[in-house]
Amino acid sequence: MSHYRSIHGWAADHVINYELVTAQGNILQVNRESHSDLFWALKGGSGNFGFVTSFDLELFPLKDVYGGNILTNASGTDAVIKASASYADPVHDGVADPLSAVNPTVQLALDTRERSSFTNVFYNASTGSTPSAVKDFTTVPSGAASTITGPRSFVGFMNETAVFPNDMRRLFRATSVKLSSQAVNIVQKIFDDESTKLRTVTNGSVTVTYQYLSQSFIDAAYAAGDAIQLLPENGPLIVTTAVLLAAAWVSESDDDYLLNFVKSLVDSIDSASTAADLYYPYIFLNDGGIGQLPFPLYGGGASLPKMRMIAQKYDPQGVFQKLASGAFKL
């Protein structure tokens, strides 16, 4: 899921060839002309079909962009939540502008009980003026530290926004809601209500992140063809990722406690969004968590039987289902 997603769809949709080694040791070149069924399945199907040893990507030219990060303390967090809801409103420019991409995150520290936010703001244009689509994020009041500027190189933008450290215990869990400001407000209220009940965890935090998938994104991804197969008639969505992050929480004994929390949190969000007719049946594979089942939701349920047939064809003994560790299985 790239910053250019509303124009180009999934990053995986720009793979033009995979080199794959099957369980039998055969080396395959997988593309639209050769093993086209496997080519379709690999785009979203994870490590269920073989070892991908290399892949070739179709490139597109980059130009300077506008963007950066904005960080707020507790005093600016409500404004970020308001901007996140406004961005999802189809009446506003926001997500409807295919040149824009934002990923707002709201965090609660589990030792200090302080709220804060971090938002990655991107606009695909060489401009020094704030585009209206992201304006609400750039005018967040009080307590904000911003690096948003333009024009700037995309490489510089990415180097600055790749901020997640690796020296922490981490849990992810994802769900999706239909694109609307109401959906953002429902998710945020549940997150706020539930996270404040958590016990103190030294150096721990819980966060919720909003990743917006516009109608133009879904149309582009569907046209490219992949196993994920989000259906254009179902409309745009927001991938909400309940993320547990901590520089290091003190005891391994906290693992189950936090896992149970994030499971419960996503269950509560799903129940509330379903009641409001805002639930969207999709789990983003990259942010899926322990016990979640992304594949049955692909293509409205139509992709998984086809994926299983393809896996049986190229891995008849089920090596990548039974013996390969990790990843989500078919």
pLDDT digits (tens, 9 = 90+) for 294-318: 999 999 999 999 999 999 999 999 9
Task: Band the pLDDT of 232: cuts 50, 70, 90.
Answer: very high
pTM: 0.94
- Residue written as token pair 């720009």: 14
| pLDDT 10s digits, 9-29 | 999 999 999 999 999 999 999
247-268: string of b/e by CB count within 10 Å (b at 16+)? eebeeeebeeebbebbbebbeb
Q: Write the pLDDT tens digit of every residue in 239-285.
A: 887 766 543 466 788 889 988 999 999 999 999 999 999 999 999 99
Q: Quick one: pLDDT at residue 201?
A: 87
CB-side neighbour CA atoms (13 Å) of 294: 24
Q: What is the mean pLDDT of residues 53-71?
A: 95
Query: What does the pLDDT read at residue 246?
Result: 46
Return d(Cα 88, Cα 178) in angstroms, integer.
Answer: 10
Closest CA to 114 of 175, 164, 72: 72
Tokens found for residue 67: 């963007």
The tens digit of pLDDT for each residue in 202-229 reads 888 899 999 999 999 999 999 999 999 9
All residues at 6 or more sequence positions from 209 whose CB lies less than 8 Å from its CB, including other chains? 103, 104, 105, 240, 241, 243
Please give the Cα distance from 287 to 242 (Å, whole number).
9
Structure tokens at 280: 């969207």
Tell me what pLDDT residue 202 has.
82
Give the span between the Cα atoms of 65 and 62, in whole angstroms: 9
Say if residues 285 and 12 touch (Cβ distance below 8 Å): no
pLDDT at 31: 98
* Average of per-residue pLDDT across 70-85: 94
The arithmetic mean of pLDDT across residues 38-52, rounded, is 96
Give the tokens for residue 33.
Answer: 């002309």
Contact of 43 with 14, CB cutoff 8 Å: no
Query: DSSP letter at 95?
Result: G
Give the span between the Cα atoms of 40 and 42, in whole angstroms: 6
Of 199, 203, 237, 201, which Cα lies nearest the Cα of 218? 237
Tell me which residue of 257, 274, 282, 144 sits closest to 206, measured CA to CA.
257
Q: What tokens were used for 228?
A: 């994920």
Average pLDDT over residues 232-240: 89
Residue scoring higher pLDDT (260 or 167): 260
* Range 49-53 average pLDDT: 97
